[in-house]
Structures are given as C-alpha cells and as structure tokens.
Amino acid sequence: MPDPTVPPTPPVPLEALLARADLGLRRIAGPDDPGLVVHWVHTSEMADPYPYLLGGELLLSAGVHVPDGAGAGYFDAYVSRIVAAGGAALGFGVAPVHDTVPDALVEACALHGLPLLEVPPRTTFSGVARAVWRLMAQARLAELRRVTEAQQGLAAAAGRPDPVPSVLRRLAGRLDGWAVLYGPEDTRLAAAGREPGEEVRLALAGLAEVVRPDVSPAAPGRDRPGTATGGAGRPASAADTVAGTRLTAYALGAGRGFVLGVAAPRQEPGDHTIASVAAVLLSLLTGEHQSGRGAARSAALVRLLLGSTPEDVAGLLGGQQWRVVHARPDGPAPDHVAASALGAALGSALVDADGRTVRVLVPGDRAVEALPGWTLGVSAAVGPREWPAADTQAARALARARATRAPLVRHGGRPALTDLVAGPDAEAHARALLAPLAAVPALPETLRTWLSLHGSWDRTAVALSVHRNTVRQRIARCAALLDADLDDPDVRMELWFALRQG
C-alpha cells in the first residue's frame, strides 16, 4: 500500500470520531485498533474510487454506485481498491438508498482489514466532515500549545549556567526519549534521557555521520558510506526507525561538525518542530562565539574597554590585518538580528549596528563580496593602529557606493599623490586651507563628497541623505568661506588633496 500523502494538519483518531454521541457512528467491521487515524474526509459514489483518493481518508458513500444484485465479487473489488489507495476507513450511509449495510460489504471490509462505519440516517455526511475538521482544529491548538511551551522551556534551559546539558535534558523530557550531542570527531559530548540499547545507539551514531559535514580532510579509510566526502550535498537532517524507535539527526551550525541526535519511542505531532528549536539553540551554544576563538575575541574587547591599545589585543583577534566594512540595507533600518546575520555572512562576529549603518570588522585575508539586499563600503586591510582611518575609508566607500548605486565599493590601495608629501606637511597644509570650514563640520564632508562625485548635486544628496538644495547651499557656503572658484580644476584638485588628509 502506498504511503498516504497527508496534509500538514494533525490526524484525528478514529476512536475520537466514534466517541462523538452526536454522530452515532458505529464500527461494524475491520480492526479495532486505537492507533487508526483519519487525515481527511472524502465523499464519492464512484464504483472505483481509487483515482480520486490520496490516502488517509475516511471515504463516505451512500451506496448509490452499488448495482442491483451486486454480490461478494463486486464488494471485494470495491474494498480492495480503497485499501490499495491508502484509504483509512469507509463510512456507509444507511438511507435513502439502502436500509442496512450490505452483508457482502461487511465481509469484504473484514477480509481486507478496512474499518467500516455505519452512518445512521440522522447523520449527514457534511456533519461527519465538520466533526473531523473540528477535531483537527482542537488537535492543532493542542499541538501549538505543546510546541510553544517546549520552545519556552528550551529557551530557559539555554540560559542556565550549564546550557548544553540543560537543553538536552529538556528536549529528552519533552520527547520522552534520549537526546545526545555528538562532537566533530564522532565523540559523544553530552546526553540526557533514557539511554536506548546498543543497536539503537549505533544506528543513531551512524545517522549522525550522514548529516555531519567534514571539518577536516578525511583520513584514509574514513569515507562515510552512502555520502560524498568533503561535506558536499549532505542533508541538514536525517531520520530512520530502528527496533521500533524513531531516530533523527540534525547537523548544527555552519559546518562545525556538531550533530544533535534524538531517539524517541514514538513521533508525536510537533516533535520535529521541538527538536528543530533545540537544534537552533545548540547551534548557537556550540558556535564560534562559544569556541576558543570567540573567547579570545571577547577577551580582546574587554581589554580594550579596560585601557589596552589595539596593538596589544590584535593577537587575540586572530590577525594583524583587518578591514572595516560599512553596510546599509536596501530596506528598513536593520535590527540586531539582521546585523548579526550580516556579520555571519561576512565571516565575523565583530559587528556594530548603529542606526541604519552596520559596521563589521573583518580579517584582512578574508574576501568581502557583494551581498544581496546590502550596499557595502570596504576599507583597505590595515593594522590595529590604522583602524580609525580604515573606519573613515569604509564610510566614504559606502557613501560612494550609495551615490553610484553600486552594491560594493572598495577603498583604493594604490600609491597616491599624498604619498609624495610628508604626512605632517600635508596635514598642516590641509588645516590651513580648510580652516574657514572647520566651524561647520557638515561643510568639509559635503565638499569632499561633492568633489568625489564630480560635482553631481543629485548623487551627493543621495550619498549624504539630504535634499539636493541643501547640497547646493552648502557648496555655495564653502565657495564663499574659501573665497575660491569651485569650478576651477586646480582649485578642486588642491581642495581634494587637503580633504583626503581629513
């Protein structure tokens, strides 16, 4: 019999439907199994309902299709087709066509193991269907309540001093089974609940191998059966049933090799959702911020707050060269979840969300590529002493990217004219030339952006998030304070040289 294609609604036990006194249904043939369930209701008067059934139905019929003088052969063929289609049960309406359920139909259902229900004359088929939908709604509400309570419990467990064992204990209790966390090297790191027998434990460990990505080159002879080495194409979860126990394995995190395994004596509605929530929490608890590298970065930030210099903590951060990335979303201002997701996409946990702009500190040897939905400005790779300058570079690159509608702009790293002049001399010249603008910080920034965009009013307005008339007013003010013709290329070049020192 084919597996029923069931809808995403909880099934209704057939016993619950028979218990409804208002329906008056009576089982007159077929197995008396409390585990029998109905997924939906279908009414048909076709002599062969097979093409119209998906599986799991309670099929209702008043016997209109039954020809006069139909014998055992007709009913045997009829019932066998329902069973072949995966029907869950047959409800036969008494009246108006038949006064009683045909004996040959009762015998055929008993022979093929199909539950046969007698539907009394006072009960309409639509009433049966409505009762099934109501029972489904009640079951769905109970399932949602159970999942919600489980989510709250798992979240509370994740906040305890021993979060990983607490989450596993809470998960095992909710599923009335066994929960285990496997490490990257096939090791069992923690477990909770009723430990199953060896056959189930070995099968679950093998299932974990199916979903675990390779985190290092495989040693000779360690190729995993049934999957390609290297982690390509591995599923995020896998399930099996061994010795009557339902087994499920979930890969945790982004390829770090941790796996959550669950063994439960049965699978209730909502169990997969509950286990998936636990998998997400364990992914966070076993993620990089909980690893040695994450601890080192936290220590570096604490030392900076306590007065250490960037040079002192650079080693803890895992590299000497870093890039600053400024990013703005194409849509609304990002929240902390969106900012963290951006950091994860860029491969860094060092994220700062400030208003509409997100700043990320990325290792210098890591490539930064354009990301859908974001506009990025990327600094040059610099050492800790130049981090503030890199922050300015990234901000300017982002402004240019937004003005030119480019998804990503990088700060240029080629030798420039400024390299020909000693730093102190260039800075002194810039301060003297731009001194008339110093009292209004918006003026030099507007002038710098306007010059970088070749005097475009509209693009400068976009880059600075101001009205184009505001740009015109600021540039006119700059020209007046500097007493300079800003249309003169030589004046523009000298001002650009000075503004680059800022």
What are the boundaries of each domain within the chain? 12-135, 159-216+235-286, 292-316, 319-410, 417-500
**Sign of the torsion formed by the C-alpha atoms of 447, 451, 453 and 459:** positive
Quick one: pLDDT at residue 93?
Answer: 95
Q: Which CATH architecture has domain 12-135?
A: 3-Layer(aba) Sandwich (3.40)
pLDDT tens sequence across 138-191: 888 888 888 889 888 888 888 776 788 889 999 999 999 999 998 876 778 889
Quick one: pLDDT at residue 154?
Answer: 87
159-216+235-286: CATH topology: Beta-Lactamase (3.30.450)
Band (392; pLDDT cuts 50, 70, 90): confident
pTM of the model: 0.47
Q: Which two tokens stand for residue 296?
A: 């080192």
Q: Are 293 and 317 in contact (CB under 8 A)?
A: no
pLDDT tens sequence across 42-79: 999 999 999 999 889 999 999 999 999 899 999 999 99
CA distance readout (Å), 494 to 19, 35, 420, 421, 482:
91, 85, 14, 13, 12
* CA-based end-to-end distance of the chain: 77
Report which secondary-structure segment, H or E, holds 450: helix 442-452
Give the CA count within 13 Å in the CB-facing half-sphere of 96: 0
Band (129; pLDDT cuts 50, 70, 90): very high
Q: Which of 96-100, 104-108, 160-164, 381-385 has the lowest mean pLDDT?
A: 160-164
Quick one: pLDDT at residue 295?
Answer: 59
